[in-house]
Amino acid sequence: MLNRLTVTQKGVLLVLLPVIFELFFVFLLSTELNRAQTGLQTILKERSMIVQLNQINVSLMRTMIRIFTPGPKDDPRTLQMIDMETGRAKDMQERIAHLTSVSPEVSDVCNQFDKILTVLTEGFKLAKEVILDPTIPSGRRNQHLNPFLMVNAFSENRRFMHKIDRVEKQFETRIPAELSAIQTRMLSILTIGTAVGCLLSFLLMKAFSRDITSRLKTISNEAQNVFQGKDLGAVQTGNDEIAQLDKTLHKAAEQHRQARLREQAILHNAADVICSLDAKYKFVGVSAVAEKRWHKSERDLIGAPLATILKEDSIEPTIEALKKIAKEGSGEFETRIELSDDSVADFQWSVRWSREEKRYFCTVHDVTELRAVERLKEKFLSIVSHDLRAPITSIGISFNLLSQGKRGEMPEKASAVLERAEGSLSTLTVLVNELLDLNKLEAGKMSLNSSIVSARDIFTRVRDVLVGLADSAGISLVVADTDCSLWADELRLTQALTNLVSNAIKFSPRGSTVRLEVKLSDDMAELQVIDQGPGVPEKDKPHVFDKFKQTAVKSNIKGKSSGIGLAIVKAVAEAHNGSAGVVDSPPGGSIFFLRIPRLSSSPESEA
């Protein structure tokens, strides 16, 4: 029944029932006070009546004594006194006849007083007849009065006074007893009312709290079951807020179950391994595809350290990468994993660190074939570039001898063909040299010959080398006045900036300007090449520094690019512990930059 009431209704009921009881309790208390007041008023009224009876009795007895005492009775005042006392006696008899709700003792006193009144009334009547009888002489009137009436009146008066004394004594004890009884009843009512009120409030509070807490505990347990993936019990009946909460929880649990089923279906059918690690780099969860990729079942991996599946040379770099991700929030790295058949596979990890759950959530992609292709391509380029250098050099020497006429005079048409051949050979030589340089830089086999160099001097040298190409394209090269000292390989830095500036010249419109300037930060120097060309499309920016990648933007200079120049820029920057990038220039065009540490932050300078 309680679950049919809302929490608000329960609260109102919890307040209203004790209030209703308290009102009933106040009503009882008021009734008892009225009854006590009526009792006390009755006692006081009875006492007042006894006093009046006594006073009237005294007055009547005095009048009776005066009438029956020898002496003249012709005084008109005596008749008036007899009439007055007779009237008072009749009034008192009528009042006594109409008395209700008096105590037996007071009723006995009234009955006794009524007897006295009867005797006195008879005596007053006789006295009045004697006084008014003209046949009776004044001196002999006492002889005609009945003395027995006087004796009887005194006898009744004695009994009356005795009863009054007894009633007075009862009054002395009755009033305190009545007050004590009233006090006892009031205390009893107060005690019982307070106890019942407290008990009622306690029972209501206990009933409501037990109902609410037990149902909330059930919901709490069901919430834990939802978290653990267990089935829930039946939906709670009722219309209150807790029942609505339970219904919402069951609805959310069903949606969560459906989402988990979809998630499991995705995880089990995904090509990539999806897993999670705790803060100690142990597996907490892993998808079923791990058995296919890593040759280890989910049971083998849960609770196992990540290092158990890694190649020994990958353990330390992987731990360092995870520590870095824990600080930054997310990141990527590659590892080599040793499989059960003693083969080694390459995997790329995309990792997100959750500070709330203290876990790494990882998506692991197999890049073994990709890396194998890249290694094969690098090997091929290396072989081709080495194998091409010797014949190119030989061909260049032969062309030089022919152009100098040391093998005889050449016809004019043959000289023109030879000149074109020398140009193509020069382009091929640059391409082979760039391939060799790029392979060495990427493999880390090229040692840098670092020294203290001036950024502005390198810019000036690059401008001097490319001023001819810029003039032919109608481009102005401007070197800014800003400068800084760098700890760098002057030759490689010049090579990288030459590639950036020549690239800017190719894509800048005639009549525009290419600026070379340095932007300084606390510990880095950014060497910028700013052009006024069409810019790099957003979709091409992430890959513009990749090997053999070219944008769809048309060059203003004839000739085909090798697609290696910007890759060399990136390799040179990374060899200097820096980076390369491109952003849009606010007025229009692009800003290609090469960011490397300044001299003050270079480790060599500190040494």
Mean pLDDT of the chain: 79
Q: Per residue in 428-487, pLDDT tens?
A: 666 666 666 666 666 555 677 889 999 999 999 999 988 888 998 899 999 998 899 999
Residue 605: pLDDT band with limits 50, 70, 90: very low
Q: Per residue in 89-136, pLDDT tens?
A: 778 777 777 766 677 877 887 888 788 788 877 877 877 777 777 777
**Bigger pLDDT: 587 vs 514:** 514
Architecture of domain 448-606: 2-Layer Sandwich (3.30)
Question: How far is it, in rounded angstroms, from Cα 257 to Cα 247?
Answer: 15
Asked whether 284 and 278 are in contact (CB, 8 A), the reply is yes
Q: Per residue in 199-214, pLDDT tens?
A: 877 887 777 777 778 8
Helices 7-68, 104-132: axis angle to 10 degrees equals: 30
Which residue matches tokens 């791990």? 290
Q: State the number of CA atoms in the 13 A half-sphere of 586 facing the CB.
A: 0
Q: What is the pLDDT of residue 111?
A: 82
Element (H, E) at 582: strand 579-584
Question: How far is it, in rounded angstroms, from Cα 109 to Cα 174?
Answer: 16
CA distances 62 to 67, 69, 139, 397, 474, Å, are 9, 10, 21, 177, 157
Q: What is the pLDDT of residue 135?
A: 73
Mean pLDDT of 303-314: 91
Q: What is the pLDDT of residue 374?
A: 76
Q: What is the pLDDT of residue 603?
A: 42
Q: Which of 514, 435, 520, 426 is nearest to 470 (CA)?
A: 514
Per domain, the residue ranges of the chain are: 2-205, 270-366, 372-441, 448-606
Which span out of 390-399, 416-425, 569-578 was modeled with the highest average pLDDT? Answer: 569-578
Mean pLDDT of 143-155: 76
Residue 72: pLDDT band with limits 50, 70, 90: low
**Partners of 515 in the β-ladder:** 478, 530
**262, pLDDT greater than 50:** yes
**560, pLDDT greater than 60:** no
Q: Which residues contact 222 (CB under 8 A, 6 or more apart)?
A: 232, 233, 246, 249, 250, 253
**333, pLDDT greater than 90:** yes
Q: For 372-441, give the CATH class.
A: mainly alpha
Q: Which residues contact 78 (CB under 8 A, 6 or more apart)?
A: 66, 67, 131
First to last CA, the chain: 84
Q: Which residues contact 313 (CB under 8 A, 6 or more apart)?
A: 336
- Indicate if 448-606 has the same CATH topology as 270-366: no
Q: What is the pLDDT of residue 602?
A: 43
Question: How far is it, in rounded angstroms, from Cα 100 to Cα 82?
Answer: 30
Q: Which of 523, 511, 498 is nearest to 595 (CA)?
A: 523
Instruction: Give the tokens for residue 593.
Output: 């930059």
Q: Which of 539, 542, 462 is nearest to 504 (CA)?
A: 462
The three-state secondary structure class of 30 is helix
Helices 76-97, 7-68: axis angle to 10 degrees equals: 150
What is the sign, positive or negative, of the torsion defined by CA atoms of 513, 456, 486, 462? positive
What's the Rg (C-alpha) of the chain? 63
Q: What is the pLDDT of residue 537?
A: 87
Question: How far is it, in rounded angstroms, from Cα 5 to Cα 238?
Answer: 8
Q: What is the pLDDT of residue 441?
A: 60
Provide the percentage of residues in the chain whose pLDDT is more than 90.
Answer: 19
pTM assigned to the model: 0.41
What is the sign, positive or negative, of the torsion defined by CA atoms of 30, 31, 36, 38? positive
Helices 147-228, 241-269: axis angle to 10 degrees equals: 10
Asked whether 47 and 39 are in contact (CB, 8 A), the reply is no
Q: Per residue in 367-384, pLDDT tens?
A: 888 888 877 777 776 666
Q: Which of 521, 441, 524 is nearest to 489 (CA)?
A: 441
**Bigger pLDDT: 99 vs 37:** 37
Order across the sheet with 359-366: list the strands: 283-286, 273-278, 359-366, 344-354, 330-338
Asked whether 266 and 292 are in contact (CB, 8 A), the reply is no
Q: Which of 47, 57, 125 is nearest to 92 (CA)?
A: 57
Which residue matches tokens 């391409």? 431
Q: What is the pLDDT of residue 144?
A: 67
Helices marked H in 339-404 — which ranges? 368-403
Which range is least confidently modeled, 2-6, 78-82, 328-332, 495-499? 2-6
Instruction: Give the tokens for residue 6.
Output: 């809302």
**350, pLDDT greater than 90:** yes
Question: How far is it, in rounded angstroms, from Cα 531 to Cα 519?
Answer: 16
Question: How far is it, in rounded angstroms, from Cα 434 to Cα 561?
Answer: 12
The three-state secondary structure class of 1 is coil
- Between CA 396 and CA 402, with CA 397 as vertex, the angle to 5 degrees is 95
Q: What is the dihedral of CA 304, 308, 314, 318, to 10 degrees?
A: 10
Asked whether 201 and 222 are in contact (CB, 8 A), the reply is no
Q: Which of 558, 499, 506, 500 is nearest to 533 (CA)?
A: 506
Cβ–Cβ contacts within 10 Å for residue 458, how many? 23
Question: How far is it, in rounded angstroms, from Cα 603 to Cα 314?
Answer: 26
* CATH entry 3.30.565.10 includes domain 270-366: no
DSSP annotation of 237:
P
Element (H, E) at 520: strand 513-520
CA distances 248 to 223, 229, 237, 598, Å, are 11, 17, 13, 60
Q: What is the pLDDT of residue 161?
A: 85
**Which phi and psi angles does 360 have, rounded to 5°?**
-100, 125
Cβ–Cβ contacts within 10 Å for residue 70, how many? 10
Residue 251: pLDDT band with limits 50, 70, 90: confident
**Bigger pLDDT: 169 vs 603:** 169
Asked whether 516 and 462 are in contact (CB, 8 A), the reply is yes
Q: What is the pLDDT of residue 448?
A: 78
